[in-house]
Structures are given as structure tokens and as C-alpha cells.
Amino acid sequence: MPAYFLAPSIIASDFTRLGDEIAACESAGADWIHVDVMDGHFVPTITVGPLFVQACRRATRLPLDAHLMVDNPDAHLEEFAAAGADRLTVHVETCPNLPQTLEKIKSLGCAAGVTLNPATPVSALEAALPLADLVLVMSVNPGYSGQTFMPEMIAKVQEVRRRLDALGSKAFLQVDGGITPQTLPLMYAAGANVFVAGNGIFKHPQGAAEGIRLLRECAPS
């Protein structure tokens, strides 16, 4: 098992070549494919929905990691599970009853992830932590690929790591936003073990495979 996992953020890829982009990630050793679902309401942008997850499903056997940046995600969980997502991550800001939402995700056969905006304190996750299969710390404000990493989030990852360890939880600790060969080692040292990257992979001048190789080699594994 690698010391850490890489999850290319597929919304930064060229959608006219979706199957090829996913295949390139797979052969370069990507571990998961991260799908950023945005509704134009919880976040300003609109990206993709369950039909896109279905298309990714047909293109790969890698785990599909859907990051739901949508209001009222409870209403859409079945659809994303049926589309073939393996992991569903919801924002604490969108879930009035977070433990219930995580239970629902598990009952659909998916791994249950929870995330929080940079401005939301870790305490907002407290009740849900024992149930979470994954905790995602956003290192940018959600909404767009290509933003600058927020170094204040290093301490937040350390705090989540402490809380997960105190619970004896083996949940993945994922980070998302501005991850590069420079920022990945900082978050790895803070305790993260799954790294989402959009621009760092798909906008790499030498191609996605080189982007993945550099992210793979920048921290001990």
C-alpha cells in the first residue's frame, strides 16, 4: 500500500478526451479519480452531475471519489451512488444532520466522506468524526480549480489528524486545493494521506503522467 494516495481532479481535464485523460491517470499510477460536483448555489460554479460520474465509471475501475459541493446533498445521494461513485463526500455546511447523512451514504454501499470550508472550524465535524470513512480538509475555498493553497490549513490538518488518532479512526485524511510538489509534503507531514490535484496534474506542461510522477515523488512513500 502506498504511504499516500493521489486523486486527480477530473474537472481540470479536457472533457473532449475524458476517457483518454482517465486512462492516462490510471497508467501513471493515480489511485482514485476525484469528481467535483458544483451546483452554482453552494458554490458559484456549475460543473457536472451524475451523468458525468456514469461516464467516468464506464472509463475506469479506479475508485470514483465524488466531492459534492451542492446544497441539500441528501436529495442526490442515491443518484450518485447509482451512477457508480465509490465515495461520496458532503460539506458539513450543507447537512443539518451530518451523522444521518453519513449513515445514508454507507447504506448505499459507498464510503462516507465529510468536508468543511476553510472558514468552518473543525469542531463542526465533532459528532460525525467517528462515522466518517474520509475527512477532507479544503485548502482553498471550494468553487474553482487553479487557486492558491492556503497555508493556514496546515494547522487544521494537524488538528483533524490529532482527533482521528484520538478516536483510533483509520479514516482517510484528504486535502484538496492548490496541491503541488511544494505543498503536498507540507500537508503530508501534517498528517494527510490523500491528495487531490487538478491543475498540478492536468495543466502540467509535460502532461498528466509527469504531473502525477512529480506528486508521487515529492514525499516519502
Q: Which residues bind ligand DX5 (CB under 6 A)?
A: 9, 11-12, 34, 36, 67, 140, 142-143, 145-147, 176-179, 196-200
**Among 14, 20, 36, 65, the one annotated catalytic:** 36
> Taking the complex as a whole, how short is the minimal distance between the CB of residue 168 and ligand DX5, in angstroms?
28
**Residue 207 binds which entry of Zn ion, ligand DX5, none, with Cβ cut-offs from 5 to 8 Å by kind?**
none
Amino acid at 6: L
Instruction: Find which of Zn ion, ligand DX5, none residue 184 binds, CB within 5 to 8 Å per kind.
Output: none
Candidates 8, 37, 67, 131; binder of Zn ion (CB under 5 A) is 67
Cβ atoms of 13 and 204 closer than 8 Å: no
* Bridge partners, 34 (sequence order): 9, 65
Nearer to ligand DX5, 170 or 218 (CB): 218
Q: How open is the CA angle 68-117-52, to the nearest 5 degrees? A: 20
Per the annotation, the verdict on 86 as an active-site residue is no
Q: Return the residue nearest ligand DX5 (CB atom).
A: 198
Considering 39, 74, 133, 176, which one is annotated as catalytic?
176
Q: Does 91 bind Zn ion (CB under 5 A)?
A: no
Piece of 12-20, 60-68, 71-79, 178-186 that binds Zn ion (CB under 5 A): 60-68
Q: Which is nearer to Zn ion, 88 or 167 (CB)?
A: 88
Q: What is the dihedral of CA 140, 83, 172, 128, to 10 degrees?
A: 80
The one of ligand DX5, Zn ion, none whose footprint includes residue 146, by CB under 5 to 8 A per kind, is ligand DX5
For residue 171, which of 194, 153, 152 has the smallest C-alpha distance? 194
Cα–Cα distance between 221 and 219 in angstroms, integer? 6
Check binding of 176 to Zn ion (CB under 5 A). Answer: yes
Backbone φ/ψ region at 177: left (φ over 0), alpha (ψ -120 to 50), beta: left
Our answer to whether residue 176 is catalytic in this structure is: yes
Please identify, using beta-carbon distances, which residue of 73 and 200 lies nearer to ligand DX5. Answer: 200
Task: Report the catalytic residues.
Answer: 36, 176
